[in-house]
Chain A
Amino acid sequence: MTGESTSRSFIKSKNKYGWLFVSLALILLGVFLFYPIVYSLYLSTTSSKGIVQKFVGFGNYVKLFQDSMFILALKNTLIFFLIQVPVMLFLALILATILNDKTIKYRGLFRTAFFLPAVTSLIAYTILFKMMFSLDGFINNALLNVHLIKSPIPWLLDPFWAKVTLIIALTWRWTGYNMIFYLSALQNISDEIYEAAELDGANKVKQFFYITIPLLKPLILFTTIMSTIGTLQLFDEPMNLSQGGVTSATIGPGNSLLTLSVYVYNLCFKYMPNFGYAATVSYAIVLIVAILSIIQFKVMGDKK
């Protein structure tokens, strides 16, 4: 590489330039990322009513377990996570597998169409779904017309159906997005593996479970973790599916759409602000993300 004589002074000036190039980003990240994360950890040990702030140690963390609103938000969030994420990723895998078959016609068209929902803003599609799923709205009309249902489904007026609506909406928005990841990985798998399996008498379903899924495991892990973080942060959708948006008294009927992130927001900006306790709830989210990611790594990641 560089000659012996020049190397020392060069390395020194190189080091200077290295810091120069990264400095702007490091300063900004320090102020707007590192400091808030650390400060929020400190905040989580305090309690505030208005402007009075006092140290309570682990008090807030104990309070979490007695807070029925927190428990409800946690339960709702976990339901969305446990049902929506597997359904969506499975659907994405199936679509990617089908579109990877070169004998299928119009593959490009289907791929573009399935991906299209991923370009909409979260607010735009949420409001769109809110309109489509209103009591006398498009979905109920369509279902009534084809005689699938006898009376309109109270999509956004009933706690159970409100959850179903949110799950449908999320699946619509994110399936194609995840599909693109799988599709690009599938294109790197050689056809010979499948041809060999075909010769051995494995049908398409067997090939899917014994070849496709194992080969995509790292990517499935990646998308699962990304979706976990996304689900734990659910905010835009539940907030805007609710009757009055940000100002609504409950998030969905009977708070059925209250998620952890919405609860943090409400603690800060809707009720009498208690930033300390809100920080505690937000750290609970960080903790849950960490735990779920570790579990997912243990279950799916072999060695690396």
Chain B
Amino acid sequence: MKKHYSINRILIYVFLVFMFVVSVFPFYWMVAGMTNIAVEVIKGKMTFGNQMLSNITTLFTRYDMIRILLNSLKVTGFTVLGTLIVSSMAAYGFQTYASPAREKAYSIIILFMMVPFIALMIPLFRLIAKMHLLNTHSGLVLTSIASVFIIFFFRQSFKAFPYEIIQAARVDGAGEFRIFFSIFIPSMKSTYAAAAIYSFMSSWNAYLWPLIILQTDKQKTVTLMISSMSSAYFPEYGVIMTAIVIATLPIIIVFFGFQKYFVQGMLGSLKQ
């Protein structure tokens, strides 16, 4: 009986180690690929080469990587900032000033969370075209700062905030907006951090919507560039690997720096 148990144990560890290798290997491979030339990458070379500098140079000279990175940073920065303000204000409004009419509005927008983006893509594209926002970064930011998911997430977390504090501040004569900005927000930092990470990730990684509305190379974001690099006639795989590493790095940093908030952000939507 005892022996049987330990064999099971060993099998479990073998399985865990196998899954560990499968999960982590692509990350190793992409870093290794960054140091090799195209032929070596595509043939699956696993060791490090000495092409890193040349890959990076090619990426930054021929592909204008600095501009592309700045584009992505700009879009993501404004989207995160806008989302945090607009969506959290809405969640605060729904939660602290409950009224039947607003509750109804809230249920309707929550229902919209289920509608896939593809179903609104066409009219949205035409609308953005009519507003002369095609091929602009504002077109990306403006359409994503009121996020139903993030409003929902904020409201779920706001439920835990003690309402008495708001009441007490009112008695002290603080205005409603001051209460929100200088009392409420500072005490909800971790919720804001979680929402910021979520928003950062979805904006930094966005593909379909930028693909549709950004048309010139000048405006492109990192994901668009990686995609078009790899569909070239003679893809430069080593350079692509370098771009992938650079595109993944910010998220990895955010992930390891704020792992707690990260997971909290994912799970926060579930708490009732």
Contacts and interface: CB of A to CB of B under 8 A. Distances in A.
Interface stretch (B57-65, B119-127, B188-196): B119-127
Nearest to A237: B207
Query: How large, as a class, is the contact surface on chain A?
Result: 35 or more
B167 to A, nearest CB: 8
Contact of A26 (B105, B122, B180, B267): B105
Interface string B119-163: 111111111000000000000001101101001000000000000
Contacts of B165: none
Given A19-B93, A181-B270, A282 B143 contact: no
B37 interface: no
Q: Which of A21, A112, A290 has the largest number of chain B CB atoms within 10 A? A: A21
B127 to A, nearest CB: 7
B19 A95 contact: yes
Interface in B68-104: 86-87, 89-90, 92-94, 96-99, 102
Interface string A8-39: 00000011011111101110110111111101
Contact of B145 (A28, A134, A177): A28
A295 interface: no
A240 to B, nearest CB: 6
A269 B119 contact: no
Given A245-B231, A264-B118, A29 B123 contact: no
Given A19-B102, A240-B230, A245-B227, A286 B86 contact: no
Interface in B166-221: 176, 180, 201, 204-205, 207-208, 211-212
Nearest to B113: A229
A264 B212 CA distance: 12
A128 B30 contact: yes
B266 A24 contact: no
Contacts of B109: 26, 29, 33
Interface class of chain B by DSSP: helix
A215 interface: no
B116 to A, nearest CB: 5
Contact of A32 (B15, B142, B201, B241): B142
Contacts of A28: 86, 142, 145-146
B270 A222 contact: yes
Contacts of B112: 29, 33-34, 37
B114 A289 contact: yes
A177 B266 CA distance: 9
B97 A285 contact: no
B105 A110 contact: no
Query: How large, as a class, is the contact surface on chain B?
Result: 35 or more
B23 A172 contact: yes
B48 interface: no
A142 B119 CA distance: 42
Contact of A282 (B15, B89, B122, B251): B122
Contacts of B122: 36, 40, 43, 264, 268, 275, 278-279, 282
A114 interface: yes
B119 A286 contact: yes
Q: Which of B114, B127, B207, B270 has the largest number of chain A CB atoms within 10 A? A: B207
A245 B230 contact: yes
Contacts of B176: 17, 20
B118 A282 contact: yes
B87 A119 contact: no
Interface of A: 14-15, 17-22, 24-26, 28-29, 31-37, 39-40, 43, 95, 98, 104, 109-110, 112-114, 116-117, 119-125, 127-132, 134, 136-142, 172, 176-177, 180-181, 184, 204, 219, 222, 229, 232-233, 235-236, 239-240, 243-248, 260-261, 264-265, 268-269, 275, 278-279, 282-283, 285-286, 289-290, 293
